C-alpha cells in the first residue's frame, strides 16, 4: 500500500493537526479536470461534449445511407468512449430528440410527455442530411489517438454552424456547471450573416416545447440572467381551460403533478384534469362552476409549473482546455469566425487538389500529344526511363505552375497503352479548360471569403430552414401577486384571552377567510405589533 504524505503541526494543547497532501490532492484535481473537460462541458469549437462527438464520429464511420440499430452504434462508439453503454445510448437519445443531427426511426421518447425512448436494440438511426453537410470533413479535421491507442478520433469536428446555440447544452461538473439555452436555427444563421457583415445582432432562446418567454433579463446568457417561461393557456369555455404549450424543462407529467399539488394545498380550485397529449400538447383543466377562469389562469402561473424561471450559464471549454464563461453573443461570434476559418481551409485544400489535377492533366496531354512515350523504348534502366521522359517534357512545360517531379514522371509511366491509343486531344483540352474554370472560381471565393461565407449560410437557411420557424413567443410578463389570486378556502380564528390565532380554533372568534400564504397582523393593547403566517395554531401574545 502506498504511503500517504502528511504534514502536521502541534498546537499549545498538544493536539496534532494533520494536512493531507500529495496523492489525494492530485487525484481530486485530476478527477475534477476530467469531469470538466471530458464529460460535462461542451467545447467552444464544435459545441459538443466528448460523448456526443464520438457518437457522431462513429455514425459517420458506419454510414452507408441506411438506418443502423442504435445498439450497434453504441457498441461501435465504445471503441472511443471509455464508459458504459447506457451513458452512450442516453446521450444519443438526447442528441436525437433535438431533431437536428440524427434521423430517427422508432420510439425515441417524447420531450413533451417525458416518456423514455425504447431500448437501443429496438430503435434505429442514421445521420441527417444537415449533419452530413456541415459536420464532417476529414481533410480539415485534427485527429488524436483514442483512449486505448488503437483508433484515431477527432479532437474537434469541423462544424461550420453555431451548433452549441442551436442545440443548447447542460452539464454539472466539479465546482462549476453550464446551461446554454437552445436558440432558433434561422435566427442563428441571420445573426451569423450580420456578424460577417459587421452589423449588430441579438439572439434569444427558442424552446422545442414552445411556450411564452420573457427574456427581458436574459443577460446574454451570462451568470445572473433569468428567463421566465410560461405555458400557453386559453379558455375553452366558461368551465374549462386548455394548456396547448408547456414551459421548457417541464413535461406534461410534471406540469399536471404541480397543478394537482396546488389544488390539494387549496391554492387553486379545479374539478379534474384530462391529458390528451400526443404529438401536440393538450391538457384540459375543468373548473367548478363558481370559479373564475381568468383568476385561475393567473393562479396556475403563480403556484404551478405553468411558469418556471430558468437561469442560463454560458460555460464552455476553450482551445487552451480551460473552462470559460462567455455570453451567447460571443459564442456566436466565435462560431462564425471559426466557420470562416474552416471554409478558408476547405477552399485552399480544394484549390490545391484542382491545381494538382490540372498539372497532371497538362502533363498527360504533353506526354501523349508529343509522343514522348516513344523515347523510353530504347532505355534499359529505370533511371534512363526517368531521364528520357524528363528531357522530352522540358520544351513543353514552361506554362506549368510548378516544377515536374520524379513522382509526376513515374505516374506518366503507369498510363496504359489502351488509354494512349484512345486519347482524344479535344476532350483532354476540354477537361483542362474546365479545371481552369474551377480553379478561377476557388481563387475568387478565397479573394472574397466573407461573401462566400454569407452565401454558405444563406444556402443552409434555404436548404434546411423550412419548418424551423420560431416556436417560443417572446413577451413581457406582468408580475402576478400570489396573494391576489390564491383561493381563500380556509377560515382564520382568534382566541384573545389565551393569545392564539389559527385555522384550527373553530370554537373561538371567526376573523376572515384566508390562505396559507397570507400574513396575519396582530396588535396588542400595549401597542405591540406581531406579524405571522397563517398556521393551525400560533401564539401571538395575550
For helices 449-464 and 328-369, what crossing angle results, to 10°?
110
Across the range 282-292, mean pLDDT stands at 90
pLDDT in tens, 44-97: 999 999 999 999 999 999 999 999 999 999 999 999 998 889 999 999 999 999
Residue 533 burial class via C-beta count within 10 angstroms: exposed 0-12, middle 13-18, buried 19 and up: exposed
Question: Please, are residues 391 and 375 in contact by the beta-carbon 8 Å criterion?
Answer: yes
In this predicted structure, what is the pLDDT of residue 8? 54
Residue positions annotated with a catalytic role: 122
Q: The cell 520544351 sits on which residue?
A: 395
Question: Please, are residues 128 and 464 in contact by the beta-carbon 8 Å criterion?
Answer: no
- Name residues whose C-beta falls within 8 Å of residue 249's C-beta, 6 or more positions apart in sequence: 229, 308, 310
The share of the chain scoring above pLDDT 70, in percent, equals 93
- Name residues whose C-beta falls within 8 Å of residue 54's C-beta, 6 or more positions apart in sequence: 77, 80, 81, 88, 153
Enumerate domains of the chain plus CATH numbers. Answer: 48-158 (3.90.199.10), 227-310 (3.30.1360.40), 340-464 (1.10.268.10), 488-539 (no CATH)
Instruction: Provide the mean pLDDT of the chain.
Output: 89
The share of the chain scoring above pLDDT 90, in percent, equals 59
Point out the least confidently predicted range of 223-232, 340-349, 531-540.
531-540
Band the pLDDT of 220: cuts 50, 70, 90. very high
Could you give the C-alpha distances from 97 to 11, 107, 184, 208, 352, in angstroms and in order? 60, 11, 15, 10, 40
pLDDT in tens, 244-253: 999 999 999 9
Across the range 266-283, mean pLDDT stands at 90
d(Cα 113, Cα 281) in Å, to the nearest integer? Answer: 8
Tell me the pairing of strands 169-172 and 490-495. unpaired
In this predicted structure, what is the pLDDT of residue 37? 66
SS3 track for 405-453? CHHHHHHHHCCCHHHHHCCCHHHHHHHHHHHHHHHHHHHHHHHCHHHHH
Question: Please, are residues 488 and 513 in contact by the beta-carbon 8 Å criterion?
Answer: yes
In this predicted structure, what is the pLDDT of residue 507? 86
Band the pLDDT of 1: cuts 50, 70, 90. very low
3-state secondary structure of 310: strand
Amino acid at each position: 500500500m502506498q504511503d500517504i504524505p502528511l504534514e502536521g503541526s502541534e498546537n499549545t494543547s498538544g493536539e496534532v493537526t494533520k494536512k493531507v497532501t500529495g496523492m489525494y490532492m492530485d487525484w481530486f484535481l485530476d478527477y475534477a479536470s476530467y469531469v470538466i473537460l471530458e464529460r460535462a462541458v461542451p467545447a467552444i469549437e464544435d459545441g459538443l461534449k466528448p460523448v456526443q462527438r464520438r457518437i457522431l464520429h462513429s455514425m459517420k464511420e458506419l454510414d452507408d445511407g441506411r438506418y443502423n440499430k442504435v445498439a450497434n452504434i453504441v457498441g461501435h462508439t465504445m471503441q472511443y468512449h471509455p464508459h458504459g453503454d447506457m451513458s452512450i445510448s442516453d446521450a444519443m437519445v438526447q442528441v436525437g430528440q433535438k431533431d437536428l443531427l440524427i434521423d430517427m426511426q422508432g420510439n425515441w421518447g417524447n420531450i413533451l410527455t417525458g416518456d423514455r425512448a425504447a431500448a437501443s436494440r429496438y430503435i434505429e438511426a442514421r445521420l441527417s442530411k444537415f449533419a452530413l453537410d456541415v459536420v464532417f470533413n476529414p481533410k480539415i479535421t485534427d485527429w488524436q489517438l483514442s483512449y486505448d491507442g488503437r483508433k484515431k478520433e477527432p479532437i474537434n469536428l469541423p462544424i461550420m454552424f453555431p451548433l452549441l446555440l442551436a442545440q443548447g447544452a447542460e452539464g454539472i461538473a466539479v465546482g462549476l456547471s453550464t446551461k446554454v439555452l437552445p436558440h432558433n436555427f434561422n435566427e442563428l444563421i441571420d445573426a451569423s450573416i450580420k456578424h460577417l457583415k459587421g452589423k449588430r445582432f441579438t439572439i434569444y432562446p427558442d424552446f422545442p416545447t414552445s411556450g411564452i418567454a420573457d427574456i427581458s433579463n436574459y443577460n446574454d446568457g451570462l451568470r445572473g440572467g433569468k428567463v421566465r417561461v410560461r405555458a400557453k393557456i386559453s379558455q375553452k369555455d366558461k368551465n374549462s381551460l386548455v394548456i396547448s404549450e408547456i414551459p421548457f424543462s417541464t413535461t406534461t407529467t410534471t406540469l399536471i403533478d404541480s397543478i394537482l399539488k396546488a389544488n390539494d394545498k387549496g391554492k387553486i380550485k379545479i374539478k379534474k384534469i384530462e391529458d390528451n397529449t400526443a404529438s401536440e400538447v393538450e391538457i384540459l383543466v375543468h373548473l367548478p362552476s363558481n370559479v373564475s377562469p381568468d383568476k385561475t389562469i393567473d393562479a396556475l402561473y403563480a403556484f404551478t409549473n405553468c411558469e418556471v424561471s430558468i437561469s442560463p450559464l454560458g460555460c464552455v471549454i476553450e482551445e487552451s482546455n480551460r473552462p470559460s464563461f462567455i455570453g451567447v453573443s460571443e459564442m456566436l461570434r466565435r462560431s462564425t469566425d471559426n466557420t470562416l476559418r474552416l471554409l478558408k481551409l476547405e477552399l485552399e485544400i480544394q484549390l490545391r487538389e484542382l491545381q494538382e489535377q490540372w498539372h497532371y492533366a497538362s502533363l498527360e496531354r504533353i506526354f501523349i500529344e508529343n509522343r514522348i512515350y516513344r523515347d523510353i523504348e530504347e532505355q534499359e534502366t529505370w533511371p534512363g526511363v526517368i531521364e528520357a521522359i524528363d528531357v522530352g517534357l522540358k520544351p513543353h512545360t514552361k506554362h506549368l505552375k510548378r516544377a515536374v517531379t520524379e513522382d509526376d514522371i513515374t505516374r506518366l509511366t503507369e498510363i496504359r497503352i489502351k488509354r494512349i491509343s484512345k486519347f482524344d486531344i479535344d476532350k483532354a483540352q476540354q477537361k483542362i479548360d474546365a479545371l481552369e474554370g474551377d480553379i478561377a472560381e476557388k481563387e475568387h471565393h478565397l479573394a472574397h471569403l466573407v461573401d462566400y461565407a454569407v452565401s454558405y449560410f444563406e444556402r443552409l437557411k434555404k436548404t434546411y430552414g423550412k419548418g424551423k420557424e420560431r416556436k417560443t413567443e417572446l413577451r413581457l410578463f406582468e408580475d402576478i401577486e400570489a396573494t391576489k389570486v390564491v383561493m381563500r378556502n380556509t377560515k382564520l380564528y382568534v382566541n384573545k384571552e389565551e393569545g392564539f390565532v389559527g385555522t384550527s380554533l373553530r370554537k373561538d372568534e371567526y376573523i376572515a377567510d384566508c390562505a396559507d400564504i397570507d400574513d396575519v397582523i396582530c396588535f396588542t393593547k400595549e401597542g405591540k405589533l406581531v406579524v405571522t403566517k397563517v398556521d393551525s395554531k400560533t401564539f401571538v401574545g395575550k
